[in-house]
Structure 1
Amino acid sequence: MCIAQLGWRQGCILSKNMVIQLQNNDEIIKDVSESEKEIIKGANESDLLIVVTHDCDLVHDSFENEPEIEVVLARSVTTENASRFWGKNPRKFQFELQPEQLLYEICVHDRVFIPRKLLLNDSPNSERQLEASLIKQVCLWISKRYFRAAFPDSFNNRITDKFKKKIAEKFKKKGKEITAIYIAGADEEVQGNDMYKIIIKATMQCETFENPVLLREAQSIIDLLEIEFCQCPGIDVAQSLLVSEADVSIDDLRFLKRWDYDHLSFRGDTPDEIAPYP
Structure 2
Amino acid sequence: MDRERIIANGWKQGACLHIRDLPTEHQQYLIDEKGWSDDDLLIVVMQSCDVVNSSLEKEPFIELIKAVPSDSYNGQLINAKNPRKLQIEAPQPLGKSHLLLHIHDRIVLDRRFIETTVLNPLCLDGEQLQILKTWLGARYNRASFPDKFMKWANQGISKLRDRLDKQVDREHICKYVEGIYMRVEPDRELDDGGCYDLHCFALISPSTPPKAQEKIQAAMEEFVSKLPEGKISVQTEDSLVMNTAEVTVQEIVEYKRFYFDELSLKRGESL
Note the C-alpha offset of 1:3: 0.5
1:26 and 1:122, CA in 2 relative to 1: closer, same or farther beyond 3 A? closer
**Alignment partners' CA distance in 1, 2:173 and 2:39:** 31
Is 2:196 aligned against 1:199? no
What one-letter code is carried by the residue in structure 2 that aligns with 1:20?
R
What one-letter code is carried by the residue in structure 1 that aligns with 2:85?
K
Note the C-alpha offset of 1:58: 0.9
Is 2:6 aligned against 1:3? yes
**What is the RMSD computed on CA atoms of the aligned residues?**
5.0
Note the C-alpha offset of 1:59: 1.1
Q: Which residue of 1 aligns with 2:158?
A: 167
**Alignment partners' CA distance in 1, 2:131 and 2:249:** 18
2:82 maps to which of 89, 92, 105: 89
Structure 1, gaps ≥5 residues long? 262-272
Structure with max Cα Rg: 2
Please show how residues 6-85 of structure 1 align to structure 2 within 5 Å. Answer: 6-14=9-17, 18-22=18-22, 26-30=24-28, 36-38=34-36, 41=38, 43=40, 48-75=41-68, 76=70, 77-81=72-76, 84-85=78-79
Note the C-alpha offset of 1:232: 7.3
1:114 maps to which of 105, 109, 115: 109
**Alignment partners' CA distance in 1, 2:102 and 2:246:** 31
Note the C-alpha offset of 1:186: 0.9
Please show how residues 131-170 of structure 1 align to structure 2 within 5 Å. Answer: 131=126, 134-152=128-146, 155-156=149-150, 158-159=152-153, 163=155, 167=158
Note the C-alpha offset of 1:60: 1.9
Q: Deviations over 1:221-269 (max 9, x none)?
A: 766534323567323274544989x9998667523313348xxxxxxxx
Asked if the contact 1:6/1:120 (under 8 Å) is kept, the reply is yes
**Alignment partners' CA distance in 1, 2:223 and 2:259:** 13
Structure 2, gaps ≥5 residues long? 167-171
Is 2:125 aligned against 1:126? no
Note the C-alpha offset of 1:123: 3.5
**Alignment partners' CA distance in 2, 1:6 and 1:28:** 18
What one-letter code is carried by the residue in structure 1 that aligns with 2:21?
Q
Is 2:256 aligned against 1:257? yes
Report the identity percentage: 22
Q: Which has the higher contact order (CA 8 A, sep 6+)?
A: 1
What SS is found at the alignment partner of 2:10? coil
**Alignment partners' CA distance in 1, 2:39 and 2:218:** 40
